[in-house]
Amino acid sequence: MSKFCDNLFRYSRREACEVHIGKTTIGASHPVAVQTMTNRDTNDTEACVAQIAAAAREGCPIVRLTTQGTREARNLAEIAARTHAEWPDVALVADVHFLPAAADVAAESADKVRINPGNYNDKGGALTALLDKCARRGVALRIGVNHGSLSQRMFDLYGDTPEGMVASAMEYLRACREHNFHNVVVSMKSSNVRVMIYAYRMLVDAMRAEQMAYPLHLGVTEAGDGNEGRIKSAVGIGALLADGIGDTIRVSLTEEPEREVVAGRMLVDYMADRAESDTAITPAAEAAFERIYSPFEYRRNVSDVVGRVGGHNVPLLRSEMSDEECAGVATIEALGKNPVAEWRRAIALKEASDDHRPVLLTRSYTVASADELRIKAAADFGVMFVDGLADVIDICCSDVTPEELQGVMLDILQASRVRISKTEYISCPGCGRTLYDLQGTLATIKERTSHLKGLKIGVMGCIVNGPGEMADADYGYVGAARGKVSLYRGKELVLRNIPQAEALDRLIELIKADGRWAEQE
């Protein structure tokens, strides 16, 4: 089996080369850095500097701004000057989608430039010119691949898959290496947590095969807001950090940037405390684990069936089980600082002994807030369900209410895509391209539609993050122009440029016409 990490049963940090982003260095043994992104118009210097300052006060060393055009790219110089006068250690990243010219201008003042291979179609002259400019100024480059916005050529070859994302990234990494430019970071983002995890694992495997060791920026794109956004991000990012993968992260929330930083630092600090284990695992147990483990696609470990538990049944909460069912499962409690390795080791030993009972995973937490529990528990439990290794979840914590505790467990199962219990919102965090009040609109849409169990609704600020980045959604609400919204069914544009005042009612009409509406009870 291809390996994306050195050891599934002991923590070790993936070795990555050093990359300098302003005064922050990532990779090697440097701590994982937390990033965020402004959500104001990049031409509005005062608003952007204020958001950067708020993020810096929370300890954020790297802030990204959208530079969708040359005008925004030029104003980045003014923002940089204002920022560095007060926060000299904060690095600024220019986010470029469509225009090579904007990347070229941004490289004159940014500390890092992010390009999307799906939209930056020339690996020849324009890319070479950008690499030359970045090399002269010491500017880093992020190759930011997003699920749902692959180039048409890659889509035709691989479809909308993690394999296509990896192939796209590797093309650009090879181009950078051929040009002897190595100040490169890579990201493989998706709103689908499984796709995101598989894509990063595949990329690490592909880079190892070609002796590359570029740092990785981790994130679940369009994760949404509130409890669900934090849990979704922690499941995806935590699954990779648990195996030592990742050098920078962003918890992408439809909230103010500094709140992303608070959540991100909480996650990074928790995952940094993974402990080495001296407990050896036998070759027989390791071989048994590899037989049931699938790192690059979802495959459920089909256990024996005990009542409603195990087999192909959806995972349960312990509180939902009968006494008979509880007596028939293998309960594995994690007590140490590295629960993922601890659980994997116990499952490997169980399988090696021909014990195929369903697996109940349990862990106790002491926390200062419900958000702390959400982030820690999602980072621990999520990867086990994403990898199909568990049948029951049991989180113990007396510091939150029983209702909050149940919500955390159900949200972890939903983010892991093993049990759908409510509506999922694929919502971008907003940026300088956003064309309406994203946070307020999302709240209103949730109020009207959150009772629709199982639907996925995309809420996007602009066409750049529209049909591509919400590729996994059943319906999409996308900013098209000031005061205008376009509605999608999947990737199909159904209504174009309708007044925003009508858009939510028209979305509900569309859901009703498809027979997917239910009245609130």
Answer yes or no: are the C-beta atoms of 397 and 380 closer than 8 Å. no
C-alpha–C-alpha distance, residues 237 and 386, integer Å = 12
Answer yes or no: are the C-beta atoms of 151 and 164 closer than 8 Å. no
Q: Give the contacts of 440 (CB within 8 A, at least 6 positions apart).
A: none
Task: Give helix 370-386 / helix 193-209 axis angle, nearest 10°.
Answer: 60
Strand ranges, E, within 29-105: 33-37, 62-66, 91-95
Q: How many residues does the chain have?
A: 521
Answer yes or no: are the C-beta atoms of 116 and 127 closer than 8 Å. no
Host H or E run for residue 495: strand 492-499
Dig out the tokens for 327 from the structure: 């007596």
| Nearest alpha carbon to residue 17 among 204, 183, 139 | 183
pLDDT for residue 277? 63
260 beta partners = none
> 């959806």: which residue's tokens?
314
Dig out the tokens for 129 from the structure: 């010119």
C-alpha–C-alpha distance, residues 107 and 186, integer Å = 17
pTM: 0.93
What DSSP state is assigned to residue 485?
Answer: E
C-alpha–C-alpha distance, residues 521 and 146, integer Å = 38
Query: Position 88: which residue type?
Result: P
**Residue 320: half-sphere exposure toward Cβ, Cα within 13 Å:** 15
C-alpha–C-alpha distance, residues 93 and 63, integer Å = 6
Binned average pLDDT, 10 residues per bin, the chain of 521 residues: 82 94 95 95 95 96 94 96 96 90 95 84 76 96 86 83 93 94 95 94 96 97 82 97 97 92 97 76 93 95 96 96 97 95 96 97 97 97 98 97 96 95 81 74 89 87 65 84 87 89 91 90 73
Provide the pairing of β-strand 484-489 with 492-499.
antiparallel
| 262 CB-contact burial (10 Å; exposed 0-12 / middle 13-18 / buried 19+) | buried
Residue 388, phi then psi, degrees to nearest 5: 70, 25
Answer yes or no: are the C-beta atoms of 385 and 315 closer than 8 Å. yes
Q: Which domains does the chain have, with CATH numbers?
A: 19-271 (3.20.20.20), 283-415 (no CATH), 424-513 (3.30.413.10)
Dig out the tokens for 441 from the structure: 């609109």
Alpha carbon 116 to its chain's center? 16
Answer yes or no: are the C-beta atoms of 78 and 45 closer than 8 Å. yes
> 């309960």: which residue's tokens?
331
Query: Position 472: which residue type?
Result: D
Strand ranges, E, within 403-470: 424-427, 456-460
Q: What Å distances lie between residue 504 and 463, 495, 508, 520, 521, CA to CA?
A: 17, 12, 6, 16, 20
Answer yes or no: are the C-beta atoms of 183 and 196 closer than 8 Å. no
Dig out the tokens for 237 from the structure: 């990012």
Report the chain's terminal Cα–Cα distance, integer Å. Answer: 49
| Nearest alpha carbon to residue 485 among 471, 465, 499, 464 | 499
Cα dihedral 253, 258, 261, 263 in deg (nearest 10): -60
331 beta partners = 360
| Nearest alpha carbon to residue 181 among 116, 134, 114 | 134
52 beta partners = none
C-alpha–C-alpha distance, residues 150 and 161, integer Å = 9
330 beta partners = 359
Residue 18, phi then psi, degrees to nearest 5: -75, 140
| H helix runs in 87-187, sequence order | 100-106, 125-137, 152-158, 162-178
